Amino acid sequence: MGFFAWLAADIRNWIMVILGVIVIALVIYCGFLRWDVAVKDSAISELKVTNAQLILNNTNLTAQNEQLKTANEALKNYAANLLKIKGDLQKIRDSIGKIGSKEDEIKANNDLVDLWSAAVPK
């Protein structure tokens, strides 16, 4: 029976060693998982900060876009007003030209009256 007792004790020792190795492996694996979770949590925190910055940049860009739209509308109105003023100036020039031609016509008529008056004795 000594051999079987020794064999049983030897098997128990091997089982204990294998269970010990499994426990050590599980402890190491749990430590690795904890480290992996910490790394991923850190990455998530960095992504949250980046996301917050992008949201802030998007908000700023949206505000700037609205300002640019307002400025664009103001420029369109300014250009339309300039074109209207240009048209009004052309009308004024045309009116001045008509007045000038009327003055020339009146002067020519007065010259004719003077000639007629000089030619016809009184």
pLDDT confidence of residue 3: 65
- Range 15-24 average pLDDT: 94
Question: How far apart (Å, rounded) are the C-alpha atoms in residues 82 and 88?
Answer: 10
- Range 22-45 average pLDDT: 94
pTM, entire model: 0.47
Question: How far apart (Å, rounded) are the C-alpha atoms in residues 31 and 39?
Answer: 12
Question: How far apart (Å, rounded) are the C-alpha atoms in residues 1 and 82?
Answer: 118
